[in-house]
Structure 1
Amino acid sequence: MAEPTSGNARLKVGFLLLRDFTLLPFAGFVDVLRLAADEGDRSRQIDCRWTVMTADGRAVRASCGTRLSPDSGLLAPAGFDYIVVVGGLIHHGPIQDPAVIGWLREAAAAKVPLVGLCTAVFTLIDAGLMRDRECCVSWYHYHDLITAFPEVTPVADRLFVVDGPRITCAGGTGAVDLAAWLVDRHLGASAARKALHILVSDGARPADTPQPMDIPAGEHPVQDPRLRRALRILDHTLATPPRADDLARRVGLSRRQLERLFREELDTTPSAHARALRLRHGHWLVTRTRRTFTDIAQECGFADASHFSRHLKAAYGATPQALRATAVADSPGA
């Protein structure tokens, strides 16, 4: 990573990489800064400066297995305009160590805005830094968050959320959009556009752009961990959901035990829940994209467009054509 060449950078960012951090959000965010900081892609830290830190100054492993060497350990927070905390896997022990929690509290006391990418929002909440603030989380970790912190109401239908000096982002490619938003604020729209164009991006998506899969309002976490695992499997096998027997086997239950859990906690059956998930995703694709109904039907595991249309109309009271027409009419600028 290039060394800073100027102490007069207009945007100074400190990255704190947590254990098992996700590589894509970090790489996307820092590349936007890199391309906005200098002419072309020369990568000199002129208009932007960034420093990569870990808790102990040693190399840290990303969730994909890649190890990354930081620039330093924890530095004085006041030297940065923003501190970006990059989270990742959350099922391997405590969220973070006391040194990191204390340092983040020090940063907040110094009034340095804190940015949580991906599951770093868990760390910010654990540090007591998200009280009475909205927090963004990926739909994938929505249930994990409200299970760990039932007092928090997360936002899982936007790419990122800005709530005063706390900025949280679902992660993934949304980190590129958030970085472009910051560059726009501090360096101007032309710098943000230039970075995005070099990254072969059509443009920055606004914060309230829906995540590809959102969480319905009022949905609550389930209590049994085996049922949570079954729901996660169904979430990620929309096109080819497993049969009830196979799903039960994968979570260590008999079919009868699994069906009883679905009835007791969700008042439904595994097959009905799987179909509802497929239709919810299909509804999102119909109303938020311009993909053909045949493609959508295939992605959602229906035999053909007619089969998909019948089930969608039964669930949502309108055909795919009508739902799309309404969505287009209601869109801004229509």
Structure 2
Amino acid sequence: MKTTKSEANHGPLKVGFILARSFTLSAFALFVDTLRLASDETDKSGRVLADWQVLGSTRHLIASSCGVQIAPTSDFVDPNEFHYIVVVGGLLNSDAAIDNQTSDYLKKAAAQKVPLIGVCTGTFILAQLGLMKSHQTCVSWLHYQTYRDRFPDNPVRSDRLFNLDRNRGSCAGGSSAADMAAFLVRRHISRDAERNALEVLQIVRARSGLDIQPRKPLAIECQDPRLKAVLITMESHIEDVIPTEELAAFVGLSRRQLERLFMEEMKASPGTIYTRVRMERAKQLVLQTQAPLIEIALEVGFDSASHFARLFRRLFGQSPTELRRAQA
């Protein structure tokens, strides 16, 4: 007999996986192994406290981006049998990441209020189906601009590792897949089960959804995680500059608190640092592309090429044209 959604909430944590074509193997492996190691107390991979299935419209092998293939273990059963359905994405250049039957299944699950989680570029698949429009989405900094270009009306951020927004979840991928899985284990099973899984995986601690993605923003150094989050946000909004008040609210601070934090650690105001972030991006474009200077100026938020060139010279000691010529 099929388990109803209400019955499932009293049993083991149940997760269904949908693997896209060219999915990321490491993200899937870390997510499912965190569940496996939390599923019993004796490390025998017994599915006592957690259970999982790889769902598919067929039992054909699904190739990951590294070439390793995985076979689905279940047909598309009632979505209510699962606490979560996790979509693991991968390479974005795949023509059709999932087939029509899989798309219909995800829409059915959404209609039945089953929580859906996009891991790595699995968020792109959910967004393409129109399932992320009213949900805050977390993506890797590597895919942030592509996501904004494809889904301009969807809220998205690239500073956090993962996010669970009502009945939608999103995860940047990579090792953060283990962090999100650990969060689900702690929520549905216990802290002891989470600790057991992490210790076997040799992970010191599970990072929370508030932890910052491990990326140094351009060439600007800082230590405070709130500053790192603001810098990454600045870098993600080069052309459409965000007011300081909004940057502060983004990390739970007032404008004055953020300004004080910048002055204490970076000896400059948020506005000054924001300008530096934009100009560092401009410097990359000058050196790595042949785009006209007016296009570069517009891309980093300047309406005037002459103003842009003067500021560039003041910061880097030479004009964009001189820098490009020196490199050539």
Matched, 1:188 2:190: yes
Matches within 5 A, 1:85-96: 85-96=87-98
* Contact 1:95-1:122 at 8 Å conserved across structures: no
CA offset digits 1:214-271 (Å, max 9, x no partner): 342761579xxxxxxxxxxxxxxx9xx98966x34xxxxxx4x4545423422468xx
Q: Distance in 1 between matches of 2:119 and 2:160?
A: 13
* Contact 1:14-1:83 at 8 Å conserved across structures: yes
Structure 1 gaps, min length 5: 1-6, 223-237, 249-254, 277-334
Q: Secondary structure at the match of 2:153?
A: coil
Alpha carbons of structure 1 residues 47 and 163: separation in structure 2 relative to 1, 3 Å: same
Q: Distance in 1 between matches of 2:126 and 2:99?
A: 12
Q: Which of 66, 69, 86 matches 1:67?
A: 69
Q: Distance in 2 between matches of 1:61 and 1:9?
A: 32
- One-letter code aligned to 1:136: C
Q: Which of 216, 219, 229 matches 2:237?
A: 219
Q: Distance in 2 between matches of 1:176 and 1:193?
A: 12
Residue 173 of structure 1 corresponds to 175
Residue 251 of structure 2 corresponds to none
Alpha carbons of structure 1 residues 184 and 143: separation in structure 2 relative to 1, 3 Å: same
* Contact 1:58-1:73 at 8 Å conserved across structures: no
Matched, 1:44 2:46: yes
Alpha carbons of structure 1 residues 73 and 260: separation in structure 2 relative to 1, 3 Å: farther
Alpha carbons of structure 1 residues 164 and 243: separation in structure 2 relative to 1, 3 Å: closer
Q: Secondary structure at the match of 2:72?
A: coil
Q: Distance in 1 between matches of 2:292 and 2:106?
A: 42
* Contact 2:238-2:299 at 8 Å conserved across structures: no
Alpha carbons of structure 1 residues 243 and 97: separation in structure 2 relative to 1, 3 Å: closer
RMSD: 2.9
Q: Secondary structure at the match of 1:216?
A: helix
Q: Which of 265, 283, 286 matches 2:299?
A: 265
The normalised TM-score by structure 2 is 0.67
1:39 to partner: Cα distance: 2.6
* Contact 2:36-2:45 at 8 Å conserved across structures: yes
- One-letter code aligned to 1:107: A
Alpha carbons of structure 1 residues 221 and 75: separation in structure 2 relative to 1, 3 Å: farther
Q: Distance in 2 between matches of 1:100 and 1:45?
A: 26
Alpha carbons of structure 1 residues 244 and 88: separation in structure 2 relative to 1, 3 Å: same
Give the total of aligned pairs: 243
Matches within 5 A, 1:111-190: 111-190=113-192
Residue 60 of structure 2 corresponds to 58
